[in-house]
Amino acid sequence: MRKQLLIFCSVILQVLACGLLATVLAADQQFVNLGNGICHDTQTGLMWQLGKSRSAMTSEEKALEYTRELDLGEFKDWRLPTMAERWQLTQNVLLYKNAGPCDFVHFENAYWTSETTNGTEPMKLGITCMCAGDEEIDIAKKGYVRAVRGSRQASSPAL
């Protein structure tokens, strides 16, 4: 009986130690996959749609309609990301490889972006030189929507 109690206590301590270690490791991760199609950025507080709209859209009106109708993770306050938010996500995913457990599918596609030089438009963002972090913008005629929710971050000058 005493041996079984020691084994039981040992197992409990191991489980608690593993849980503590997992909590410490998770605290260091900037991105947390919420398991419902949403990735939470712990540094900015933003929540990102992991997937994308089913089809590319050719009008701002359709892109905005998509965000208004999106019901993901029981949240209904989705919007198009700003240019500053898109750049920050692009740098984390492409340059720093810091998306952690969040797999942003089809990241290389053009996506609708607000607060650009020309207002809201579809564009593909990229990093042309990983060593220098050189940025590349390709304006597109159509784009997918990857919605975001949370407070708008202070915008950097539109590129």
* pLDDT tens figures, 91-103: 888 877 889 999 9
Q: Taking the CB of residue 1, how many other CB atoms lie within 10 A of it?
A: 5
% of the chain at pLDDT higher than 70: 74
For residue 139, what is the DSSP state?
A: E
pLDDT of residue 80: 98
Only one residue has tokens 């020309």, namely 118
For residue 94, what pLDDT is reported? 81
Residue 147 pairs in a beta bridge with none
Q: What is the pTM of this model?
A: 0.75
Domain layout of the chain by residue ranges: 30-149
Identify the DSSP state of 95.
Answer: I
The beta-carbon contacts of 65-71 under 8 Å, at least 24 apart in sequence, are: 66/145, 66/147, 67/145, 67/147, 70/147
Sign, CA torsion 16/19/25/28 = negative
pLDDT at 26: 45
pLDDT band at 153 (very low <50, low <70, confident <90, very high): low
* pLDDT, position 10: 42
The span from the CA of 53 to the CA of 56, in Å, is 7
The lowest-confidence range among 22-26, 33-37, 84-88, 116-120 is 22-26
